[in-house]
Amino acid sequence: MSKKILEDHKKEGKRLRPPLTTIGNFVDLSWVDYIIPDVIWITLLRDKFGDKLGTELVNEFIVISTKHESAKFRNYALISSFETLPSQNKTEIFNDLKKKGIVSPMLSGLSDFLDMYPKCPLNFIRPNDYSTKVIDVKFLLRYKEILWDLIDKRSKKSTFTIANVVYSMFVLDRLKIVKDSPMTQFPKIQEYPDTEISRMIASSLRASINAFYNVEMFDKDNSTWAKEFWNRGIEIEACKL
């Protein structure tokens, strides 16, 4: 007997929620308000080092961070995961990053960003005396271009950033997909937006990003990072978004 359309969807009142959004404690967050502040570090590293090396660096950082996670699940592709992480865990992560030679390239790609956002939860990756406390104007101009590009969730930068988050979950063996999903052809996302299959994969990625937030790890009413990100941006340069 063939499967009925929407059979896997869950009915909540008059709304039907797709299966992916009913896994665990799904958190429905705004891409611009909450998710961009969490994933922009990935975009910045990819912009600095290119797709291949940038992706390798991001994945290595996430894998090392996951080794030192606390009891509750955290997704270390997201900056807010480090917001309440105990200092001991951060020290262990930093020491491992240093042993692996990851600290230097991370700082090369993120130091200007961290100078702009001194309260960013990722600041533990640099020594206290590393900060220049000066905002580089050239970086600021490039940063604004990147941020505007990210605001469009369908842009290549946004799509590849989301893809990096998802790929890291594959690397950690935390994500399984059904055989009929476009995600089984995940490597073809590199063709986006020029092929139909890449556009299908991108659509699946956009639909899935919220599923990587766990309500026990992140609460949009208690987390301060997203608010700090946008408020600090306005302090640096008033702009209309």
Cα(25)–Cα(39) distance, rounded to whole angstroms?
20
**What number is the average pLDDT over the span 210-238?**
75
Nearest of 160, 157, 159, 162 to residue 212 by alpha carbon: 162
What is the predicted pLDDT for the residue at 29? 83
d(CA 89, CA 47) in angstroms, rounded, equals 28
The tokens for 17 are 């929620």
Determine contact, residues 185/197, Cβ cutoff 8 Å: yes
Locate tokens 């998802």: which residue?
166
Question: What's the average model confidence in pLDDT over 54-64?
Answer: 96
Looking at residue 71, what is its pLDDT?
A: 56
Q: How far is it, in rounded angstroms, from Cα 189 to Cα 90?
A: 33
Which pLDDT score is estimated for 237?
72
pLDDT averaged over every residue in the chain: 84
Classified as helix, coil or strand, 136 is coil
pLDDT surpasses 70 at 131: no
Indicate the range of 129-133, 191-195, 208-212 predicted with least confidence. 129-133
CA distance 81 to 79: 5
List, for residues 139-182, the tens digit of each pLDDT value. Answer: 999 999 999 999 999 999 999 999 999 999 899 888 888 888 89
Residue 129: which residues within 8 A CB-CB, separation 6 or more? Answer: none
The answer to whether residue 228 scores a pLDDT higher than 70 is yes
Residue 94 and residue 125 in contact, taking contact as beta carbons nearer than 8 Å:
yes
Give domain limits for the chain. 31-227
Which of 23, 27, 47 is closest to 164 using CA atoms?
A: 47
Q: Residue 232: which of 132, 143, 159, 170 has the closest Cα?
A: 143
The per-residue pLDDT for 27 is 62
pTM for the model stands at 0.84
Residue with tokens 């007997």: 1
pLDDT digits (tens, 9 = 90+) for 64-93: 999 987 656 678 999 999 988 889 999 999
